[in-house]
Each structure stands twice: as structure tokens, then as C-alpha cells.
Chains A and B, each alone.
Chain A
Amino acid sequence: MTPDTILDPDAELVRQAAQGDRHAFDVLVRRYESQIFNLARAMTRGDDEADDLAQEAFVRAYRAIRSFRGDSLFRTWLYQVTVNVVRTHLSSRSRWRRLWSTPVEAGADEDGDAAALATPGFEDDVVRRDTIDRALAGLPEDLRVAVTLRDIQGLDYREIAETLQVPMGTVESRIFRARQRLRTLLAPLLGRGAGAPALARPAVAAGDEG
């Protein structure tokens, strides 16, 4: 809508969807379903829950698409909608849990971790992903979302700041602290993965071999 808007690869489809073209929106759903589903999954653990929430995010996005002004990328806006849907869900769920659950749950998760790590087929994708997701689940929600958007979804800091509607400095600090905590939570993975994928972004380590 704004004249000097960022070049958004989705702009045309978004425009058509905003005029009620469901086919155009279907294309957007298929384009982003993996990212949105995986974001919901990393934030919640559990396929069924993530499936429901990812669907909900797309439904809300479609209903609100006329309010999207193109101030950010459509993708950023879609992330924003998803984070809000998941947060709403998590806050109502945690309210129930705080009221009714016994505190055994956390301990049970740790036992699960230990068992998973001792399994011979540890390198298996599913187990590896679950281990990461469990570690993420051990973070406070604000740290978890920020580091998920950065290191799993690959958004840059500016995009994350827009998605979460917080200042850049907040994003930087949340991601830094999240990684500090995850270093402990992911210790077994980090230890075993010494020679592991160097396909990460250079991040901060880039400067140390100067």
C-alpha cells in the first residue's frame, strides 16, 4: 500500500488474497506452511498442537489480510500473527497448568531427556529435533521465541524486532541470553556434535581467527 514499500515477493498474491481470492491465499499457505508449522512446533512441542495452531494462524491471517499495509514483508507479518496465536494459546494453557497440575511434569521431562540421550539411535532426526525442542521448552517464552525466530527460522534481528514489536537491543539481548542458557541445556548435543554442521551463520565466532 505504501509507495516506497520494501520489495515483497508475496505482494501480488497478498493483493489478490485481500480481494477475496482464495486460490491466491492457498498459494501463500503452501509457500509458508512449513515455516509456520515448524515455528508453532518449536514454540509448543507436539505435532497435533502445532498443526492446530499453524492452521489457526493462517485462518487469522486470511481474515485480517486487508489490514496488512505492507509496512513489513508479508512473511514478517505472518510470523507476527503466528506468534500471537501461539502466545494466546500458551498463556491460557499455562494458567490451567499453574492451577491444576502437579509439579512433577518438569522432572519427568528431564528424565525423558536423559533417556533420549542414552539411546543408541541418538543421531536420528526425530530424536535430535525433540531434544532441541525440549531444550527450547526449558527457556522462558520471550527468550524461546526470539532464538527460534533467529536460529531456526533464520530471520535477521530487524525482522525479529518487527515481529515481536520490541526494540533491537531487546532482541539482541534475548538471543544472547537464550544461547547462553541453551549451551547448558543442549550440552550433550554440543559435546557430540563437535565436528558437526558448520553451516551455521558465522555469528560472533567469525571474528576470533583474525
Chain B
Amino acid sequence: MKGCDDARTWMARGGDGSLDEALRLALAAHLKSCAACRDEAAGQGDVASVLHARPAAAVPPGFSARVSARLDRGASWIELAEWRTWTWRLVPVAAALFLAAVLWSGGSASRGQAAASMSVALVDTDGARAAPEAVLWDSSIDEGLALRTVLTGARQTTPGEQRHD
């Protein structure tokens, strides 16, 4: 039994053919006397053979040209899909406009009102975290909470984050 455990460890270690000579001989000796490990080793080798012979898929035509075109363009789609990226990029803009709004609100009443509604919209953008569906991209939130949040349509807090009543 102990011999089999060692043998399997050596098989795993030598899975890229790089087992050192002493261990390779020890493994060979064990395999000679153990049918179960021989079978295990054969299985490892068979699977490696089949995978190695996997026919490569042809790269779709025009691939490198498309990469080039994407490099000419701006941010990639994955970056755009990551709401944290665009949210945080907007923070300084939102802050500046909010400040401007506060300053303007000291002026005429009508101008102040317009600025206040603008600031609400901007703060909302900044807080994309508050949108119920945003939890789907938030890796810090567990599935149960994410599901509840999406199903109920309301952002809920994690236990450690805020007191929940």
C-alpha cells in the first residue's frame, strides 16, 4: 500500500517525462510487481497520447488583422464590461461636477435647482454598485446574496458590511 502511494506520487511527478533516474527506476520496479499501478500508469499515458494528438483548430481567417484593429481602437470590451473600471474613472469627473454644482447652488435659485438634479444623476453613476444587477459582477458577494438581490431587485448588504435589520 505504502509502495502504491509512492508510485502514484512518482507518476504524478514524472507526468512530463522529467522524473529523475533513481525515482524512475524505483517506479519501474514497483510497476513490475503491481498490476493496479501498471494500469494507472497506462491510463495516464493513454490520456496524454489522446490529448497530444488532439487536432488543432485552425485559427479563424483574419485573426491577426482583427487584433491589430482592436489595438487601434480604444478600451477593450472586457474592460468596458468591468463596471468598476468605468465607475472609478468617472469618480474625479463626478466629484468635480458635484463641487461645481454645490458652488452654483449658492447663486440663483433656478440655477441651483438644475445643478442639484445634475448632481443627483452623477452621484448615481458613481454608485453603480447600488444598482441591483451590479452584484452580478461583484466577486466579493456570495451567490446566495447575489441571487436574492437580483430576485428582489434591491441591493442587500453582506452581514459584515452593514447591520441588516
Contacts and interface: CB of A to CB of B under 8 A. Distances in A.
Interface of A: 22, 25-26, 29-30, 33-34, 37-38, 41-42, 47, 50-52, 54-56, 58-60, 62, 85, 88-89, 91-92, 95-96, 98-99, 125-126, 128-129, 132-133, 147-148, 150-152, 154, 156-157, 172-173, 175-176, 179-180, 182-183, 186, 189-190, 193, 196-208, 210
A175 B12 contact: yes
Contact of A179 (B10, B28, B47, B54): B47
A193 B43 CA distance: 13
A198 B49 contact: yes
A132 B50 contact: yes
Given A150-B15, A151-B48, A172-B15, A204 B41 contact: yes
A189 B41 CA distance: 17
Contacts of A208: 28, 31-32, 38, 41-42
B67 A58 contact: yes
A85 B76 CA distance: 12
A147 B54 CA distance: 13
Contacts of B19: 204, 207
A196 B50 CA distance: 8
Secondary structure class of chain B's binding surface, majority of residues: helix
Contacts of A85: 78
A88 B38 CA distance: 39
Interface residue tally on B, bucketed by range? 35 or more
Contacts, number: 188
Nearest to B63: A33
Nearest to B62: A51
Contacts of B36: none
Contact of B143 (A95, A133, A180, A205): A95
Contacts of B41: 204-205, 207-208
Kindly name the residue among B54, B56, B78 whose own CB sees the greatest number of chain A CB atoms within 10 A. Answer: B54
A203 B17 contact: yes
Given A196-B50, A208-B32, A179 B57 contact: no
B49 A183 contact: no
A189 B18 contact: no
Contacts of A129: 54-55, 57
